[in-house]
Chains A and B, each alone.
Chain A
């Protein structure tokens, strides 16, 4: 469904991605793990159109979409839940969700929009009770749910999740990741960036390890979770330094 081939991307003069290739098949949840500054967020930006790749190609559903503007990509079915959620705190939950549906043409039946609201509320029952509440007054977990819910309003085929559990209590984080699994069951494909590699590899089927803008490992989530290098660097397993020599 999504194919990146040798994508290089820069912020000004700093190259953040050095020829990265990866793919996400339809129906998969793929995790992108790596340390801070490895280029994970940059990669999502290059997919969702927030950043123009300097070279390489991005294909979505077989079509070349490299460098297309965000709104075109949203229309094609790519929806991005950015790090830090980027909600409108002074608007209600309902209004925030409605903004996620902005691409829906006016002519589209009201019923369809209602159905979409219904779908999001079914996934996040907590939001239903707070539909009229201002987004800024929600808890961290609820805000994250709202951010994902807003992205779902455009009925994406591919959901890009940037650090969905950041700053959340472990219990809440677990709930959010459960939702990712549920979304997959409903047919949404997910590319997820996650600091919490252990949790991410539990939800995902496959993963990539990004290091200083380069992919150094690729494999099934199971393989990566067992990889000693991954365990040491990203899963925080006990690591005993052996004496040199």
Chain B
């Protein structure tokens, strides 16, 4: 497979670490000077920017969490004036909003990094790349489209809503690359079968899957159903979007774009670094972000780092596929959902009791959310129209806040188990 940026992706370690240190120092200098949050955090930690004299000094810097981003809503984390920001994304899911700003150079870097990731997966300018992610404010689809354009492929963005239309595009345009979540690919394959089409008979040759974790079992299923080679790629909207890391043809871990991200793996409890190869929470420091630099951002993703050289020729470290999280976040159809978001939005709906159960399952490869909610006595004994209206209100609320429409089951008062608070309220039946 071609290496998109040979100079950057096959740099000797010494040169790479020098570059990382230079960029880390510049990032800390800018964050300290321009972002009040970091100025305060660094002062609280008793760290001056010039204390960072080696890469190992990163351990002296404070962490950043999703909560910090929320508290800085909307613009407090930006390190440049708003007039220099040319794109704003709001990372997936969550009632508690966060804002991620990009400068012109950030967008350029982003498409460069995605170009590297998709080249590693085998995409070239001869490909027709069908990008199917939920549209809206998610950075995923934007990033993948820009990266594919950078490589010179023909990019077809298709909304995730209408499966038949996707199949039509897939066949008519002879798409060779499918970019979506692994679950969606399975869903697509099954839908084709239902329409009497053979999913392995398309022009597709590659699948680039991101947005949600998937198992090796899922990979094998997608590969055989669609007759493709499937690779995983990782990124998160808070840091940039897709383009943080991706698998090469060897599918043995995701190559991290280390000249733009400094990655650490820490024990989620003690926050101390764990040795290479051991699982822990992924922590990312941006090295080139202008609009919104992040120091030691806790991603919540559990992974491990393999520093050994890959036979593809890249010298970058590889992270293992993200399989689990250190927090209670769930990814449903590529949207990040925290249980407290669900609780929060239910409680805002009048007539709903604070007793609910959410079941997340995978049907034909597609995630489904089933929400069972107890309703108040008053509403339950009211006319039927009241219940229908309530259902509608809850559905709208889910759509509005999370961008997901659940299957709803309204339950009579005391109809659900009274397990201790928080327990069994969210059941994830998917085997990821």
Contacts and interface: CB of A to CB of B under 8 A. Distances in A.
Contacts of A100: none
B25 A21 contact: yes
A22 interface: yes
B23 A218 contact: yes
A52 to B, nearest CB: 17
Interface string A212-242: 0011111100010011110000000000001
B177 to A, nearest CB: 29
Interface in B27-56: 29-30, 33, 49-54
A84 interface: no
B22 interface: yes
B49 A18 contact: yes
Contacts of A8: 50
Given A19-B50, A223-B105, A218 B80 contact: no
Nearest to B109: A223
A215 B25 contact: yes
B393 interface: no
A6 interface: yes
Interface string B85-110: 00000000000000000011100100
B25 A223 contact: no
B18 A5 contact: yes
A219 B105 contact: yes
A215 B29 contact: yes
B372 interface: no
Contacts of A22: 22
Contacts of B80: 228-229
A206 B314 CA distance: 23
Contacts of A214: 25, 29, 49-50
Interface in B231-256: none
Contact of B53 (A19, A23, A228): A19
B84 interface: yes
Given A6-B53, A18-B49, A227-B290, A218 B22 contact: yes
B26 A19 contact: no
Contacts of A215: 22, 25-26, 29
**Majority-rule SS of B interface residues:** helix
Size class of the contact patch on chain A: 20 to 34
Nearest to A7: B53
Contacts of A5: 18, 21, 53-54
A191 to B, nearest CB: 14
Nearest to A214: B29
A55 interface: yes
B104 A3 contact: no
B116 to A, nearest CB: 16
A157 B131 CA distance: 49
A215 B104 CA distance: 20
Given A214-B50, A228-B80, A6 B29 contact: no
Contacts of B54: 5-6
Nearest to A6: B53
B153 interface: no
Nearest to A228: B84
B361 to A, nearest CB: 47
A19 B52 CA distance: 8
A242 B83 contact: yes
B390 interface: no
Interface of B: 15, 18-19, 21-23, 25-26, 29-30, 33, 49-54, 80-81, 83-84, 103-105, 108, 288, 290
30 contacts: A3-B18, A5-B21, A5-B53, A6-B21, A18-B50, A19-B49, A19-B50, A19-B51, A19-B53, A20-B25, A21-B18, A21-B25, A23-B18, A55-B53, A214-B25, A214-B29, A214-B49, A215-B22, A215-B29, A216-B26, A216-B30, A216-B33, A218-B26, A219-B288, A223-B105, A223-B108, A227-B290, A228-B83, A228-B103, A229-B80
Given A5-B21, A217-B26, A228-B103, 8 more contacts: A5-B18, A5-B53, A23-B15, A214-B25, A214-B49, A215-B26, A219-B105, A219-B288
